[in-house]
Amino acid sequence: MPELIIQGPAGRIEARYNAGPTENAPIALVLHSHPRAAGNLQDRVTVVLARTFQCFGFAVMRFNFRGVGRSMGTFDNGKGELEDAASALDYLQAQNPDARECWVAGHSFGAVTALQLLMRRPEIKGFISVAPPVEHYDLSFLAPCPASGVVLYGSRDSVARAIEVERAVQRIKTQKDIKVDYRLIDGADHLFDTNLEAVEREAIDYLELRLQRPAGPLGEEL
């Protein structure tokens, strides 16, 4: 995935971008885990999500939040990071003005930020949320949730405990015909270090269901 520097509200943003195979390819923005917990665009879950979208023919971008890697600025407790995500999506859309669909995805802190972006950008039609830390971030802002998506979570996650994720998802109010699915990955902790294949498998299965077509060859290797 080619390296890229774009302009954001706090200065330069370090990113990786892979163009889609067609002019009207769908687009996906993938957000990494918490910057204060060493989260960055090379996180293994982030890379797995990016390459999963690639195998469905999406143009895909992932980037470092402010203060991470070569991205300028300092951690802003979520507010600035949401602005970073909005700037990255603006760039992605400018590169793909004829994109037929727009998705967001993220892991942990990035999962919550992706959902916040979803509420601000009506063009987003789907999401994949991996281990949103619902005990630290209230998802009541999804009121109502405007797009269908899936939440993936682990049975051994001590940061996003399975029972709390299930409760949070069940409380989400949705617009008509919108469905938020949730899928447990047995044995997985918050980082999914030994369960990356399961994350990939569940993400592919969900996208095949939503897009009504099979996955192609996998994209970027870990």
Domain membership of residue 146 (yes or no) is yes
- pTM (two decimals): 0.97
Domain membership of residue 220 (yes or no) is no
pLDDT tens digits along 31-67:
999 999 999 999 999 999 999 999 999 999 999 999 9
pLDDT given for residue 222 in this prediction? 44
- Relative to beta strand 180-185, strand 59-63 is unpaired
Cα distance between residue 57 and residue 27, in whole Å: 9
What's the mean per-residue pLDDT of the chain?
96
Mean pLDDT, residues 187-210 taken together? 98
Range of the domain at 25: 3-211
Domain membership of residue 95 (yes or no) is yes
Overall domain count for the chain: 1
Domain membership of residue 33 (yes or no) is yes
Domain membership of residue 134 (yes or no) is yes
Domain membership of residue 216 (yes or no) is no
Residues 6+ away with beta carbon under 8 Å from 166: 153, 182
Side chain identity, residue 127 = F
Side chain identity, residue 154 = G
In contact, 119 and 43? CB cutoff 8 Å: no
CATH classification at residue 30: 3.40.50.1820
State the helix-helix crossing angle for 79-95 and 109-120, rounded to 10 degrees. Answer: 60
Domain membership of residue 218 (yes or no) is no
Domain membership of residue 221 (yes or no) is no
Please say if the pLDDT value at position 105 is more than 80: yes
CA gyration radius for the chain? Answer: 16
Q: Is 81 exposed, middle or buried (0-12, 13-18, 19+ CB in 10 A)?
A: buried
